[in-house]
Structure 1
Amino acid sequence: MTRLVDIRLGRGARLLLGALPIVALLFVYLLASEARHLDNPADKVLPTFEAMAQAIRSFTTDRDPSTDRIILVADTLASLYRLGIGLAIATASALVLGLLLGVMPLARVVLGPTVAVIAVIPPVAVLPILFIVLGLDEASKIALIAIGIAPFMTRDLTSFVANLPVEQTVKAQTLGANSWQLAIRVALPQLMPRLIEALRLSMGPAWVFLIASEAVASDVGLGYRIFLVRRYFAMDIILPYVAWISLLAIAADALLLFVSRRGFPWAHGGGR
Structure 2
Amino acid sequence: MKRLVNLTPSKPARILLGLLPFALILLIYVIASDARLEANPSDKLLPSFEQMGDAISRLAFEPSKRTGEYLFWQDTLSSLTRLGLGIGIAAFIGFTLGLLTGALPTAYAPLAPLITVISLIPPMALLPILFIVFGLGELSKIALIIFGVAPFIARDIQRCTLEIPREQLIKAQTLGASSWHIVWRVLVPQLMPRLINAMRLSLGAGWLFLIAAEGIASTDGLGYRIFLVRRYLSMDVILPYVAWITLLAFIIDWLLAKTSQLAFPWHHQGGKA
TM-score, normalised to structure 1, is 0.96
2:44 aligns with: 44
Q: One-letter code of the match for 1:124?
A: M
Deviation at residue 180 of structure 1 after TM alignment: 1.3
Q: Does 1:30 align with 2:15?
A: no
Change in 2 beyond 3 A, CA 1:5/1:172: farther
2:61 and 2:158 map into 1 onto residues whose CA distance is: 47
2:78 aligns with: 78
1:78 and 1:251 map into 2 onto residues whose CA distance is: 17
Contact kept? 1:67, 1:74, Cα under 8 Å: no
2:167 and 2:4 map into 1 onto residues whose CA distance is: 39
1:270 and 1:263 map into 2 onto residues whose CA distance is: 16
2:3 and 2:190 map into 1 onto residues whose CA distance is: 35
- How many residue pairs end up in the alignment? 272
2:243 aligns with: 243
After TM superposition, the structure 1 stretch with the greater mean CA deviation from structure 2, 125-134 or 58-67, is: 58-67
Contact kept? 1:261, 1:271, Cα under 8 Å: no
Contact kept? 1:265, 1:271, Cα under 8 Å: no
SS in 2 for 1:45: coil
SS in 2 for 1:219: coil
Deviation at residue 7 of structure 1 after TM alignment: 3.8
2:172 and 2:237 map into 1 onto residues whose CA distance is: 58
2:157 aligns with: 157
1:138 and 1:4 map into 2 onto residues whose CA distance is: 53
Per-residue CA shift, 1:188-220, capped at 9, x if unaligned? Answer: 111011111100000000000000000010000
Deviation at residue 56 of structure 1 after TM alignment: 1.6
2:148 aligns with: 148
Could you list the runs of 5+ residues in structure 2 that have no partner in the other structure? none
After TM superposition, the structure 1 stretch with the greater mean CA deviation from structure 2, 34-43 or 195-204, is: 34-43
Deviation at residue 4 of structure 1 after TM alignment: 4.0
1:41 and 1:179 map into 2 onto residues whose CA distance is: 71
SS in 2 for 1:241: helix
2:162 and 2:169 map into 1 onto residues whose CA distance is: 11
Alignment of 1:188-267 (within 5 A): 188-267=188-267
1:168 and 1:261 map into 2 onto residues whose CA distance is: 24
1:67 and 1:201 map into 2 onto residues whose CA distance is: 36
1:67 and 1:75 map into 2 onto residues whose CA distance is: 13
Deviation at residue 146 of structure 1 after TM alignment: 0.7
Q: One-letter code of the match for 1:237?
A: V
2:167 and 2:27 map into 1 onto residues whose CA distance is: 56
Per-residue CA shift, 1:155-203, capped at 9, x if unaligned? Answer: 0000110111111111111111222111111111110111111000000
Alignment of 1:106-145 (within 5 A): 106-145=106-145
1:54 and 1:82 map into 2 onto residues whose CA distance is: 28
Could you list the runs of 5+ residues in structure 1 that have no partner in the other structure? none
Change in 2 beyond 3 A, CA 1:185/1:229: same
Change in 2 beyond 3 A, CA 1:237/1:206: same
Change in 2 beyond 3 A, CA 1:70/1:105: same
Q: Percent identity?
A: 54
Contact kept? 1:60, 1:71, Cα under 8 Å: yes
Deviation at residue 271 of structure 1 after TM alignment: 7.6
After TM superposition, the structure 1 stretch with the greater mean CA deviation from structure 2, 105-114 or 58-67, is: 58-67
Contact kept? 1:60, 1:73, Cα under 8 Å: yes
Deviation at residue 39 of structure 1 after TM alignment: 1.8
1:214 and 1:107 map into 2 onto residues whose CA distance is: 36
1:12 and 1:183 map into 2 onto residues whose CA distance is: 45
1:101 and 1:135 map into 2 onto residues whose CA distance is: 32
SS in 2 for 1:60: helix
2:56 and 2:224 map into 1 onto residues whose CA distance is: 17
SS in 2 for 1:232: coil
Deviation at residue 99 of structure 1 after TM alignment: 1.0
